Structure 1
Amino acid sequence: MKTALVHDWLPILGGAEKVLESIYELYPSPIYTLLKNSKVLKGSVFEDATIHTSLVQNLPFAKTKYRSYLPFFPFAVEQFDLSDYDLIISSSYAVAKGVLIRPNQTHICYCHSPIRYAWDMYFEYLKDAKLEKGFKALIAKIVLHYIRMWDYASAQRVDYFVANSINVANRIKKFYGKSASVIYPPVDVDKFDLCEQKEDFYLTASRLVPYKKIDLIVEAFSNMPNKKLIVCGDGPQMQLIKKKAAKNIEIIGFASFDKLKLYMQKAKAFVFAAKEDFGIVPVEAMSCGTPVIAYKAGGSLETVVENVTGIFFEKQNIKSIVEAVDLFEDKKDIFDPKTIRNHALQFSKQRFKEQFRAFVEEKVLISQ
């Protein structure tokens, strides 16, 4: 059976690309994507892959400013001619699922999320981008209205959806009216080692962007001067976070894998304040035997077991985080690193491959 893979874009390698990597290892096939950055792909599993890019690849500054071309994305992805393939597998959090297919082809979409800035995070996106009023705001709202209509229409072309969490499956049902099976994404838990001897500091790690709420964690720990916090990551909010950080907070910036792994192993707890679709980093921390203090929403509800692998806080505010840290201090002796790691192992890469292969084989058989 001739197979093609479709992914939104490949200028960076993040969580969604780890999913694509596992799918590519199962089905080593040509990859169709809006654009790629060959330097970023060097040394990865995609370095020698056959990758077809779209017209976006040749637009000015596309490698770094590709999101500015959002209005062109639906048109660009529909120009891929996939008529020679029997099976199309898309990995989509934006437009990859919108490729045009024929009635005799099977399209399976692994959906990381419906387009968040067009649906559930629409108003939050406009607020963060300062696009609530004015002419630019009007243009942005019109574009996103068009994207939303196209997104719904393109979702109807997909034969079978797979969601990365129950959380995302519910959104697929709400926004697209389509059912989705849940297969949790692959986490490289085998690359992390159990450490039972913890040190006296807390850890958070993420790209420093607004929705990750790292600034909120920093503010909370600035109000707890006797508790040390280490922050790993870089991004647009770096200067803002540095300004908010008290003396008990150490801003590392970008950390290599080995350095981040060591922090994860030694931290007494990992603090996570984002509302994520799944959330890979907390699972990586748990694979080191480190408990998680997480916002009680999104994917964390599916990965963190309260009072077993971590605890929750109810609201994304300073008071709630401070109270959760104090509660953790009172309960920290109940957390067993071995139990926490064993829980994290269920999200392994091998488990993902087995479940995804079985799903594809079942659906292909039905379609024949």
Structure 2
Amino acid sequence: MDTEIDRASPVNVASAKPRPEIAIAHDYLTQRGGAERVVLAMLRAFPEATIYTTLYHPDDTYAEFRSAKIVTSPLNRIPLFRRDHRLALALLPHASSMLKIPADIVIVSSTGWAHGFHMPGKVFVYCHSPARWLYLTEQYLGRPAWQSPVGWGLTLLKPFLRWWDGRAAKRADKYVANSTVVRQRLKDVYGIEAEVFHPPHSVDISGERTPVRGIEDFVQQGGHFLIVSRLLPYKNVGEAIEAFRYLDERLLVIGAGPLAADLRESCPANVKIIEHLTDAQMRWAYSLCRAVIAPSHEDFGITPLEAGAWGKPTIALRGGGYLDTIVEGITGRFIERPSAQFIRDAVESFDPARWDPEAIRAHANTFSEERFRERLRREILDFGRELEG
């Protein structure tokens, strides 16, 4: 462990105070999404930190994690759980509670599990949302709980899971919320008053752009609409696909998830679904699109900012985190409901000439990763001072 020594005067090295050891915790690293992007930004702020997580599947998340030191729970030995963390639901509370992090300060990126890891040190929780599947179950499932096996399982486990979750939340030293809507959820669910600390976008528009093999003819010279999303019920991607069924426009969907097979079967010829793109391929898809469509119920909603880095506007559902990331009439427009008809109307009335790319980029730059890292370092430095005191 490093020590901080004042080189201007003689110091007894043995008595020098050790620099606090910092670790990062995250629920599971088995997918590519906004929360995982935030973990990468945390790692770039503290590159020596070890990441602790329940499950890690290198092929299904961002390649940058391969160079990090990652510690997993025993559940990671089971390939089935690495492929679908939902199958481990009944075991995750115990596995999370037993995952000990022997660091002085832990930066927790949590949507439901990581705040319950065994952390004897000081705990700083960056909350993307209290567990959506626990407190917004019907929205998460896209249907009433009794209509699916997963819903039945959640219903049976919910009393225990809520007890476990509330107990885990009380052990944190500080919570921050990634958006105003999540701040309100933290107050409603845990009684916690949290500051808003927006996540960054990490788009590098100067990087290489690589076409996605097999869809060059579909994309052509650009002008397509774009959705970047996990394929889950509450993301409403199916409604967007239905909206394009009778439109003379193209929709490119980038994402993976349990609905992938069903959504592919329902796609008309003017809609394509692809997954597991590299950053260079993502740049290609974003740079050539006309606009992004974001019809989901989001805790933060980072895709309008990723689109904004390219000067592209967003058509988004009026609600959730999009209220924090979109300036109506400047960086995008809202739809009132995530239905095929509302999406179709917005696309048909979309006029690319009315949007100012430079104004959109300027707004996206206020959510830069550099600003995020600076604030995170200040927050953790305060924790370090408390330890020294």
Q: CA deviation at 1:61?
A: 2.4
Q: CA deviation at 1:266?
A: 2.5
Aligned 8 A contact 1:164 1:278 in 2: yes
Q: Which residue of 2 aligns with 1:93?
A: 111
Unaligned runs of 5+ in 1: none
SS in 1 for 2:315: strand
Provide the aligned C-alpha RMSD in A: 2.6
SS in 2 for 1:161: strand
Q: Which residue of 1 aligns with 2:224?
A: 201
Q: Which residue of 1 aligns with 2:250?
A: 228
Q: Which residue of 1 aligns with 2:127?
A: 111
Q: Which residue of 1 aligns with 2:16?
A: none
Q: Which residue of 2 aligns with 1:272?
A: 294
Aligned 8 A contact 1:192 1:284 in 2: no
SS in 1 for 2:146: coil
Aligned 8 A contact 1:192 1:287 in 2: no
Instruction: Identify the range of structure 1 (155-164 vs 19-28) with the bigger mean alpha-carbon deviation.
Output: 19-28
Q: CA deviation at 1:19?
A: 1.5
Q: Which residue of 1 aligns with 2:42?
A: 23
Which letter maps to 1:165?
S
Aligned 8 A contact 2:32 2:62 in 1: no
SS in 2 for 1:222: coil
Q: Distance in 1 between matches of 2:51 and 2:23?
A: 6
Shift of the 318–138 alpha-carbon distance from structure 1 to 2, 3 Å rule, reads: closer
Give a deviation string over 1:92-115, Cα, whole Å, max 9, x none. Answer: 11211113344xx32101111111
Instruction: Identify the range of structure 1 (152-161 vs 205-214) with the bigger mean alpha-carbon deviation.
Output: 205-214
Tell me if 1:124 matches 2:145: no
Which letter maps to 1:123?
E
Q: Distance in 2 between matches of 1:136 and 1:262?
A: 37
Q: Distance in 1 between matches of 2:334 and 2:148?
A: 39
Q: Which residue of 2 aligns with 1:62?
A: 81
Q: Which residue of 1 aligns with 2:235?
A: 212
Shift of the 352–10 alpha-carbon distance from structure 1 to 2, 3 Å rule, reads: same
Q: Which residue of 2 aligns with 1:167?
A: 181
Aligned 8 A contact 1:190 1:348 in 2: no
Which letter maps to 2:271?
E
Instruction: Identify the range of structure 1 (254-263 vs 274-283) with the bigger mean alpha-carbon deviation.
Output: 254-263
Instruction: Identify the range of structure 1 (63-72 vs 254-263) with the bigger mean alpha-carbon deviation.
Output: 254-263
Q: Distance in 1 between matches of 2:350 and 2:69?
A: 49
TM-score, normalised with respect to structure 1 = 0.86
Aligned 8 A contact 1:4 1:87 in 2: yes
Q: Distance in 1 between matches of 2:60 and 2:264?
A: 28
Aligned 8 A contact 1:271 1:293 in 2: yes
Which letter maps to 2:372?
F
Q: CA deviation at 1:22?
A: 1.9
Instruction: Identify the range of structure 1 (131-140 vs 146-155) with the bigger mean alpha-carbon deviation.
Output: 131-140
Tell me if 1:250 matches 2:264: no
Q: Distance in 1 between matches of 2:194 and 2:62?
A: 34
Which letter maps to 2:368?
S
Within-5 A mapping of 1:1-368:
1-27=20-46, 28-38=48-58, 43-44=63-64, 46-59=65-78, 61-82=80-101, 84-102=102-120, 105-120=121-136, 122-125=137-140, 128=143, 131-132=145-146, 138-191=152-205, 200-223=223-246, 225-247=247-269, 249-254=270-275, 255-329=277-351, 332-366=352-386, 368=389
Q: Distance in 1 between matches of 2:58 and 2:271?
A: 34
Q: CA deviation at 1:239?
A: 4.2
Residue identity over aligned pairs, in percent, reads 32
Aligned 8 A contact 2:141 2:233 in 1: no
TM-score, normalised with respect to structure 2 = 0.82
Q: Distance in 2 between matches of 1:158 and 1:349?
A: 25
Q: CA deviation at 1:127?
A: 5.7
